[in-house]
Amino acid sequence: MATYYVKAKEVDTDGRRYFTDDLPVLDSADGLTEVTVPDVDQYPQYFLLFWNKGYYLDENDQIVSPGNLPDLTIGYLRDVINRQGIQLDSAISTANDLKKLTSNLTLQQTQLNSTLTEAQTTIKKLQGMAGSLTLQIATLQSKQTTGTEAK
């Protein structure tokens, strides 16, 4: 026999006390009800997997299991493992796709940074050329003004 402590709801209209979604624990605490689970077949495994799926305490605080628990046979468990394997493969594929996307985005970012650096260099050169042209225009205007006054 295994002893667990669970939080039970108030008595239902059918005289049963169902368990809350709080996990069963091994230590007693305020507000928890002691439940003794028989060590028969796979009963403890069922209880720990499905305690909140219909297990209840009867009017004598004895644990009662629902009749609709899933099968824990090897075939059923293999099917569950296979479905989880498919989900895992899908998650791995998604992770790999995200890695490729991240790599592509990093490459694009590097290219954009390079292009930005080139653009900044070009702008500085153009600003320098504009300053030089402005100086040349001012010099020409000054010579033109001086030449006009000399005549």
Question: Which 3-state string (H, E, C) describes 68-90?
Answer: CCCCCCHHHHHHHHHHHHHHHHH
Residue 150: pLDDT band (50, 70, 90) is low
Averaged over 99-123, what is the pLDDT?
96
Domain boundaries defined on the chain:
2-64, 73-144
Higher pLDDT, 114 or 143: 114
| pLDDT for residue 40 | 65
Averaged over 53-75, what is the pLDDT?
75
Averaged over 20-34, what is the pLDDT?
84
Higher pLDDT, 92 or 147: 92
DSSP code string of 113-151 = HHHHHHHHHHHHHHHHHHHHHHHHHHHHHHHHHHHHHH-
Query: Which residue's entry shows tokens 């153009």?
Result: 126
Asked if residue 25 has pLDDT above 70, the reply is: yes
Higher pLDDT, 122 or 73: 122
Three-class SS state of 4: strand
- Let me know if 65 is exposed, middle or buried by CB neighbors in 10 A (0-12, 13-18, 19+): middle
Q: Are 19 and 8 in contact (CB under 8 A)?
A: yes
Please give the mean pLDDT across all residues of the chain. Answer: 85
| pLDDT for residue 100 | 97
Of 25-29, 59-63, 109-113, the least confident: 59-63
Tell me whether strands 33-37 and 56-57 are parallel, antiparallel or unpaired: unpaired
Asked if residue 42 has pLDDT above 70, the reply is: no
